[in-house]
């Protein structure tokens, strides 16, 4: 189970964790914990503002205040657990201060950033562990830099599963498989370490990922294959449509890994898309549940099981730019696309949707609006493109409709009819061969209209409307 920052905001939230613990009392539990709300941002700010000692002191004092506030609420003052938590905070913040001094001296190397960001989870997880202990539960604090071994990509590290599995087998499994002990393991989310021993982090929002990495690893090395990941969030689950566009959208109760990846990629940041990759291999189910209503029957489950007869959701990219490259002379010339995408990749620009007419006269592709000036400048500074091509662009929006059902002709006809009714022009389309996702490029001003009209006209075909 992963508890995010919104599960640790005050005394009541901690009580909720006890409630959840008792609901799942007969099950072996591993808790993965995020930093307190806002702490990772504050740590990052500290690392990025080391010019004056005053600024460093101010930020560290704020981090300290937020943690002291929590332990003041959840423990009796000067009790054993309060004092342990307080010592831990003191010790770690003084380590943080020393690290800031090092960075001032040696510069902000990438590994320093990860090390600094790791303090959030180190503090919050220890506090939760002490809280569980203070309530008579058997619990153990365990930092994942002993467990998750990653590659060297600081800030966005990827787990090396063989090495992680070996650690899980040696360090975690014996604790869980001990029949005489019912112990909760509290693991720090978000952090790992590389082979040399430097702390790495898994990317922002990465605690979800930690939970699924650990689940996968336990599946790989343990005897008990009955494993489930539950992410406790401040929402009921994944919604078919971001409430920003359609206020009372449906909850998606059931979806499979591929569908979830489409939704998570474009969705409202409820789920970290990478965590699906970790659990998909063994088809480990993942639930997204509302922390405030742990017994609620409606929640999202991502598993092998999915009802293919429904549309699952619509997501949108609001700020996109479509670039179109046109030439009559390049028909049937191999390598034109490679050249275009090489320019994008050299400039670190990610291309999402691609559409090319089979005549090969024009190629359109979507990039984030943030990157469009860089992209145009790069294309125009290439003699090749300037000589043989016309380059056009327009700011647009992209909607993605996900679910196997959209492969049906009738459903697609209904989608196009709905859009036509509102006079919404589709500027480009993409649907690949076995895809369960249809992406439509439309005028940006029509985005909300487009989503609403598909939602209203195809209402009964959404899973959640059942
Ligand atoms: N604390 C990290 C972040 O804010 C990881 C997480 O919350 O999942 O990005
Ligand atoms: Mg967070």
Q: How far is it, in rounded angstroms, from Cα 111 to Cα 108?
A: 8
Residues 184 and 325 in one domain: no
Could you report the average pLDDT of every consecutive run of 10 residues in the chain (466 residues)?
96 98 95 97 93 90 98 96 98 97 91 96 98 97 97 96 98 89 94 97 94 98 96 90 85 89 68 87 96 95 88 91 87 85 94 87 93 95 88 95 87 95 94 83 96 91 79
The per-residue pLDDT for 407 is: 83
The per-residue pLDDT for 247 is: 85
Residue 36 lies in a domain: yes
Residue 396 lies in a domain: yes
The per-residue pLDDT for 436 is: 85
The per-residue pLDDT for 269 is: 67
Residue ending a domain, choose from 227, 246, 270: 227
The per-residue pLDDT for 309 is: 84
Q: How far is the CA of 34 from the centre of ligand 1 (A)?
A: 6
* Residue 218 belongs to domain spanning: 2-227
Report which protein residue has its CA nearest ligand 1's atom 2: 205
Report the CATH number that the domain containing residue 61 is assigned in CATH. 3.40.1160.10
Tokens of 318: 């609001």
Which residues have any ligand 1 atom within 6 Å of their CB?
A: 4-5, 34-35, 40, 120, 189-190, 204-207
Residues 222 and 317 in one domain: no
Looking at ligand 1, which atom is closest to the CA of residue 202? Answer: 5
Please give the model's pTM, rounded to 2 decimal places: 0.87
Report the CATH number that the domain containing residue 442 is assigned in CATH. 3.30.2130.10
Residue ending a domain, choose from 171, 197, 227: 227
Residues 205 and 350 in one domain: no
Residue ending a domain, choose from 227, 259, 286: 227
Q: Rounded to 5 degrees, what are φ and ψ at 232? A: -90, 120
Residue 246 lies in a domain: no
Q: How far is it, in rounded angstroms, from Cα 258 to Cα 303?
A: 10
- Name the residue of 200, 204, 272, 291 whose CB sits within 8 Å of the most ligand 1 atoms, as the mutation to test its pocket: 204
Looking at ligand 1, which atom is closest to the CA of residue 120? Answer: 1
The per-residue pLDDT for 206 is: 93
> How many structural domains comprise the chain?
2
Residue 251 lies in a domain: no
Q: How far is it, in rounded angstroms, from Cα 355 to Cα 428?
A: 7
Judged by its nearest atom, the ligand closest to the C-alpha of residue 205 is 1
Q: What is the sign of the dihedral through the CA atoms of 159, 161, 164 and 169?
A: positive
């Amino acid at each position: 189970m992963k508890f995010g920052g919104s599960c640790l905001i005050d005394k009541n939230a901690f009580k909720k964790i006890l409630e959840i613990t008792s609901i799942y009392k007969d099950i072996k539990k591993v808790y993965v914990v995020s930093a307190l709300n806002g702490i990772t941002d504050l740590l990052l700010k500290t690392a990025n503002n080391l010019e004056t000692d005053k600024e460093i002191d101010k930020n560290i004092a704020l981090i300290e205040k937020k943690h002291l506030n929590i332990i003041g609420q959840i423990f009796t003052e000067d009790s054993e657990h309060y004092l342990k938590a307080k010592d831990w905070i003191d010790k770690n913040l003084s380590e943080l201060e020393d690290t800031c001094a090092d960075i001032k001296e040696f510069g902000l190397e990438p590994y320093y950033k990860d090390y600094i960001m790791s303090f959030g989870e180190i503090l919050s997880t220890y506090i939760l562990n002490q809280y569980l202990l203070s309530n008579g539960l058997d619990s153990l604090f365990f930092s994942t830099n002993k467990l998750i071994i990653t590659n060297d990509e600081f800030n966005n590290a990827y787990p090396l599963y063989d090495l992680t599995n070996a650690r899980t087998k040696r360090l975690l499994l014996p604790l869980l498989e001990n029949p005489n002990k019912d112990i909760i393991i509290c693991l720090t989310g978000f952090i790992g370490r590389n082979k040399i021993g430097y702390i790495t982090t898994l990317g922002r929002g990465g605690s979800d990922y930690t939970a699924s990495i650990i689940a996968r690893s336990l599946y790989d090395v343990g005897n008990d294959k009955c494993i489930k990941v539950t992410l406790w969030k401040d929402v009921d689950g994944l919604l078919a449509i971001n409430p920003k566009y359609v206020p009372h959208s449906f909850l998606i109760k059931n979806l499979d890994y591929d569908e979830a990846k489409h939704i998570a990629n474009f969705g409202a940041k409820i789920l970290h898309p990478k965590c699906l990759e970790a659990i998909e291999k063994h088809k480990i189910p993942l639930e997204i549940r509302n922390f405030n209503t742990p017994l609620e029957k409606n929640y999202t489950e991502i598993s092998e099981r999915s009802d293919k007869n429904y549309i699952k959701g619509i997501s949108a990219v609001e700020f996109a730019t479509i670039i179109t490259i046109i030439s009559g002379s390049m028909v049937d010339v191999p390598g034109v696309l490679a050249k275009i995408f090489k320019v994008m990749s050299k400039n670190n620009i990610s291309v999402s949707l691609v559409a090319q007419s089979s005549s090969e006269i024009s190629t359109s592709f979507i990039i984030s609006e943030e990157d469009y000036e860089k992209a145009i400048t790069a294309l125009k500074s290439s003699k090749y493109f300037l000589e043989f091509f016309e380059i056009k662009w327009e700011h647009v929006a992209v909607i993605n409709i996900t679910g196997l059902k959209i492969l049906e002709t009738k459903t697609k006809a209904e989608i196009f009819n709905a859009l036509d009714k509102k006079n919404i022009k589709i500027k480009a389309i993409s649907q690949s061969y076995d895809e369960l996702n249809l992406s439509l490029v439309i005028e940006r001003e029509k985005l909300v209209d487009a989503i609403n009209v598909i939602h209203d006209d195809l209402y009964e075909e959404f899973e959640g409307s059942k």
